[in-house]
Amino acid sequence: MIARLRPYLVSFLFLLVGAYQVYAGDLLEASLYILASLAFAFNSMAAEPKLVAYKKMVVIITWSLIIVTGILFLYLLQFKYL
């Protein structure tokens, strides 16, 4: 059971870090963590047996979130940290 919940816990941790970034005032970095959290959650949902009927849509959403998160990460890396 823990192995099934672990990705959701990682997603929750990313969400907490995103909430902290909102509290700290860095909204751009908060959006990165929140998008990563959603990507982890949807990726975990794609493996759920109860959602087999919606698997294609969940996978499309997952990949969209992963791509957007990657683009946002590269933007942050280029304009904030370099």
The span from the CA of 73 to the CA of 33, in Å, is 10
Q: What is the mean pLDDT of residues 14-24?
A: 97
To the question of pTM greater than 0.85 for the whole model, the response is: yes
Close Cβ partners of 42 (under 8 Å, ≥ 6 residues apart) = 58, 61, 62, 65
Q: What is the pLDDT of residue 1?
A: 65
Q: How confident is the model at residue 14 (pLDDT cuts 50, 70, 90)?
A: very high
Q: What is the pLDDT of residue 79?
A: 86
Mean pLDDT for all residues in the chain: 93
pLDDT at 76 exceeding the cut of 90 = yes
> What percent of the chain shows pLDDT beyond 90?
83
